[in-house]
Amino acid sequence: MSELLTAAQMRAIEQAAIESDEVTGLELMERAGRGVVEAIFEEWPELAKTSHKAVVLCGPGNNGGDGFVVARLLKKWGWEVEVFLYGDAEKLPPDARVSYGRWVELGEVKPLGDADFDIDHDMGAKVVIDAIFGTGLSRPFYTIGVVQDTLNYYSSSKDMPNVVSVDIPSGICADSGRYIGYDDENPFDSCVWANLTVSFHSEKLGHRLSLGPIGVQKIVVKSIGIGRDLKQRWEETTPISTPDATRGAGQVNGIVKLVSKPTWIGKNYGWNKFSHGHALILSGTSGKGGAARLSARGALRIGAGLVTVAPTPGALQENAARLDAVMLSPVGDAQTLQAVLADERFNALCLGPGLGVERARDLVPVALAAKRATVLDADALTAFKDDPSALFDMLHENCVLTPHAGEFARLFPDIDKKLNAPAAKGPAYSKVDATRDAAAQAGCVVLFKGPDTVIAAPDGACSINSAAYERSAPWLATAGSGDVLAGFITGLLARGFAPMPAAETAAWLHVECALEFGPGLIAEDLPEQLPSVFRRLGA
Ligand SMILES: NC(=O)C1=CN([C@@H]2O[C@H](COP(=O)(O)OP(=O)(O)OC[C@H]3O[C@@H](n4cnc5c(N)ncnc54)[C@H](OP(=O)(O)O)[C@@H]3O)[C@@H](O)[C@H]2O)[C@@H](O)CC1
Ligand SMILES: Nc1ncnc2c1ncn2[C@@H]1O[C@H](COP(=O)(O)OP(=O)(O)O)[C@@H](O)[C@H]1O
Ligand SMILES: [K+]
């Protein structure tokens, strides 16, 4: 798993490096600028062969400072470089001011405003560098909307200059991926859309969350020589409760991880099916069983030793006609469920898919009282929309809630309101903040679905399963795919995974299955991809 940083965490790491006298801020700026030029030539090798023209747009902070370094390096490479500055050179922070001065020895700096930028022509440039705002974006910028619109026209048009954003496209909040100032009535005030974004040391949360990936398009991270040992020293010396350095939580250093290939899959030869757990998937009435059957298939394929579906007695026939390897046990009411759960071998439960809201209200309390590892999804979440705290009171640490955005809003209305309020200033409240707050409120793991699925535990541990860039799988947004995910998590819980790794691993495999199949996928296809995904992983 790689780590994703907030702007404050990145600043703290940079500060620790500077204070250790290992490197100066100016040297880091030089390395950042060099990294951008390297990334440009790696992305478009033909540009390194002969000289071209670049336009560099610099802003009032250190992101602008990086821009001046890029301008100087490209000029030295023989390029024609036109540089603009948004703001006052006299007010640049010290390192950016020095970089500005070094550029001024080579060329002029024009003021950057809407009037100075001509939307109708491309200035003959091959590349336009967006170094207007980086991690320090603190408020909306409305005054250069035409500049931003021009860049978006370039990046989305063939035969126009490529737009390269330094660190993060200007306008995106590095902590939340939200567009600062964006609101539905003024969609113009969004962000720069890049063709390539070059960041430093580590990805930031905003590269993965919310609308961030739409602006970023492609992310390359360049080292600026800040070693892991330094980061460790920073972690040791940064009080974990410092809100500035660890926004959103006071735990696990507030660091968010990007979910990647699981180290487990494991071959437990010599074990029998009972040692791989027995998952019980509660189902609904006749005609509503498809969702739970999808969950059951997912749980079985991911490796639960046995899976039983528990529909209403009236739906037994229908399910019997559709299930083979999955077993059946009718559950008509709460009392029957209690009796079924007397069998301790049912070690993981899944309630929600196709369950029916009324039935969920009856069965969820019994299921939670049994203290088994439990996934609550869909109707099992919606059932408590009028009194979420009644649900929170029953939840225990072996639970996983898997809401999509609508279900999240029903269970956590106050958090949802914060998350959906227009992002008026940076850093904005993020999906990571929201999921951590929800996990703390619920007292169990919450997996908040989407292309940027965020998984958080009550202790603040948090990770993002990102279906962006090379893992983009928009065809996963298909009816029933969430039911399969609930089944995957339940299957891993049955196998003995703790809730957090079960949710992380299942979410990662879910996207792998979607990528394995490709467009045209329907939910039924997802569990069927697991064998080849496992084979590829060497499991
Ligand atoms: N950290 C590191 O390790 C390294 C960082 N590096 C680079 O530094 C970048 C971060 O630099 P940064 O902190 O100076 O922030 P940046 O985004 O340039 O702008 C802040 C300025 O903009 C202003 N401002 C904000 N919003 C505004 C608005 N809407 N309209 C107008 N003004 C607005 C804001 O004003 P203020 O909010 O203070 O009033 C402030 O003056 C980072 O992204 C990376 O590129 C690298 O060099 C290598 C190592
Ligand atoms: N654009 C997308 N890219 C990748 N995954 C997505 C995208 N949109 C939705 N998903 C995933 O698809 C699943 C949809 O689940 P859900 O909304 O519960 O649907 P359903 O109730 O139909 O099963 C979730 O795992 C979610 O993370
Ligand atoms: K930028």
Helices (DSSP H) in 283-412: which residue ranges?
290-301, 316-322, 334-340, 357-369, 378-382, 388-394, 405-411
**Hey, what are 211's tokens?**
């609308």
Nearest atom of ligand 1 to the alpha carbon of 166: 45
Indicate the SS3 state at residue 521: coil
**Hey, what are 520's tokens?**
């045209």
Burial class (CB in 10 A: 0-12, 13-18, 19+), 402: buried
| ipTM of the shown complex | 0.96
Which of 507, 494, 490, 491 lies closest to 456 in space, CA to CA? 507
Contact, 530 vs 513, CB < 8 A? yes
Whole-number Å distance between alpha carbons of 98 and 95: 5
Nearest atom of ligand 1 to the alpha carbon of 14: 3
Give the residues across from 199 on adjacent strands.
221
**pLDDT at position 497:** 95
Q: Which ligand is nearest to the CA of 402?
A: 2
Q: Is 499 annotated as a binding residue?
A: no
Contact, 428 vs 180, CB < 8 A? yes
Q: Which ligand is nearest to the CA of 68?
A: 1
**pLDDT at position 248:** 40
Helices 525-537 & 290-301 angle (0-180, nearest 10): 10
**pLDDT at position 344:** 96
136 lines ligand 1 (CB under 6 A): yes
102 lines ligand 2 (CB under 6 A): no
Q: Is 6 annotated as a binding residue?
A: no
Q: Is 78 annotated as a binding residue?
A: no
Contact, 134 vs 196, CB < 8 A? no
Conformational region of residue 520, where left means phi above 0, alpha means psi within -120 to 50, and beta covers everything else:
left
Whole-number Å distance between alpha carbons of 123 and 131: 18
Contact, 480 vs 524, CB < 8 A? yes
Q: Which domains does the chain have, with CATH numbers?
A: 24-225 (3.40.50.10260), 273-537 (3.40.1190.20)
**pLDDT at position 188:** 55
Structure-token match 């980061």, residue found: 231
Whole-number Å distance between alpha carbons of 125 and 80: 9
Q: Torsion angle, CA of 305/309/313/317, rounded to 10 degrees?
A: -90
Give, in order, the Cα–Cα distances in Å from 139 to each of 149, 229, 247.
Answer: 18, 34, 18
What element of type H or E holds 33? Answer: helix 25-43
Using most ligand atoms within 8 A of CB, pick from 476, 483, 513, 524 the residue to mutate for ligand 2.
476
Q: Torsion angle, CA of 9/11/13/18, rounded to 10 degrees?
A: -170
Structure-token match 């609904």, residue found: 284
Whole-number Å distance between alpha carbons of 16 and 230: 7
Helices (DSSP H) in 105-245: which residue ranges?
145-155, 212-216, 228-237
Q: Which amino acid is at 258?
A: L
Contact, 444 vs 376, CB < 8 A? no
Indicate the SS3 state at residue 250: coil
Contact, 279 vs 491, CB < 8 A? yes
**pLDDT at position 269:** 44
Structure-token match 């113009």, residue found: 188
Give, in order, the Cα–Cα distances in Å from 30 to each of 45, 72, 100, 152, 166.
Answer: 22, 10, 12, 27, 13
CA-nearest residue, atom 24 of ligand 2: 482
Contact, 85 vs 64, CB < 8 A? yes
Q: Which amino acid is at 18?
A: I
Contact, 417 vs 463, CB < 8 A? no
Contact, 17 vs 201, CB < 8 A? no
Ligand 3 centre to CA of 414 (Å) is 32
**pLDDT at position 231:** 56
Per-residue pLDDT of the chain (539 residues; tens, 9 = 90+): 689 999 999 999 999 899 988 899 999 999 999 999 999 999 999 999 999 999 999 999 999 999 999 999 999 999 999 999 999 999 999 999 999 999 999 999 999 987 776 655 667 899 999 999 999 999 987 778 888 888 988 999 988 999 999 999 999 999 999 999 866 666 555 789 999 999 999 999 999 999 999 999 999 999 999 875 555 655 655 544 433 333 443 334 689 999 998 876 555 444 566 689 999 999 999 999 999 999 999 999 999 999 999 999 999 999 999 999 999 999 999 999 999 999 999 999 999 999 999 999 999 999 999 999 999 999 999 999 999 999 999 999 999 999 999 999 999 999 999 999 988 899 999 999 999 999 999 999 999 999 999 999 999 999 999 999 999 999 999 999 999 999 999 999 999 999 999 999 999 999 999 999 999 999 999 999 999 999 999 86
Residue 84 has phi, psi (to 5 degrees) of -120, 150
